[in-house]
Amino acid sequence: MRAPWKLLFLSGLILMLSSCSTSSVDDYTQNTPQLDPRVFFNGSLSAHGVLKDRSGKVTRYFNATINAYWKNGVGTLEERFVFDDGEVQFRNWTLTPNGDGYNATAGDVIGTGKAKVSGNAMQLDYVLEIAYKGSPLQLRVEDWMWQVDNKVLLNESTLRKWGFKVGSIQLVIVRNE
C-alpha cells in the first residue's frame, strides 16, 4: 500500500521540478537602459562584491579594478581583484562578437563562454577552473548582469558543480568616467 503513495509522490515531485522555468535574457528585451557591452565596458571601471557559500553565507569580500577597451570590434577586460584576506587575482576577458552575442574567453575559463545581450541584461555561461584545496576544480558559472543606469551594472553569478549550486557571487560594477 505504501509503494503507490511513494510512486505518486515522486511523480508529483518530478512534475513540479520539471515545470519550473528559468529566466531567459529575452525576458529583458524591453528594459532600459539598453546594455551595449562596447559602451558600458569601455574605460576604467571598479567592482565591489561578495562570495557566498551554498547556504548563502558570505565567505569573502572583494574590490576590483577593470581596464576595458575595444579594438577592431573585440573587447578586452583586464581585471584585478583584491580580496579581504589580501589575496590578489587577475583575469583578462576577451569578448568577440558571434552574431547574437559574444564569445568570452579568459585564461582560467575552460573552452569558450557564450554571452547573450537583450535589453538591459546580459547572460554569460562558462566553465571556470579554480584551485580548491590544492587541486584544480571546474565550476559551471551562470552570470547575469543588469545595467541600472549609465554608470552602474549589477552582476549575480551562480556557481555549480555536477548541477548542484555550490556558491554565488554578487557584485556591482561602476564606470569611473
Report the pLDDT value the prediction gives residue 5, as an integer from 0 to 100: 61
Burial of 115 (0-12, 13-18, 19+ CB in 10 A): buried
The domains of the chain are located at 24-175
Residue identified by cell 557584485 is 171
CA distance 168 to 160: 9
CA distance 153 to 12: 39
pTM summary value? 0.86
Report the pLDDT value the prediction gives residue 161, as an integer from 0 to 100: 96
Architecture per CATH, 24-175? Beta Barrel (2.40)
Tens-digit pLDDT profile for residues 67-83: 999 999 999 999 999 99
CA distance 149 to 44: 16
Task: Say which residues have a Cβ less than 8 Å from residue 5's Cβ, sequence separation at least 6.
Answer: none
Residue identified by cell 549550486 is 165
66 within 8 A of 77, measured Cβ to Cβ: yes
Cell numbers given for 117: 545581450
CA distance 154 to 126: 18
Tens-digit pLDDT profile for residues 17-39: 444 447 899 999 999 999 999 99
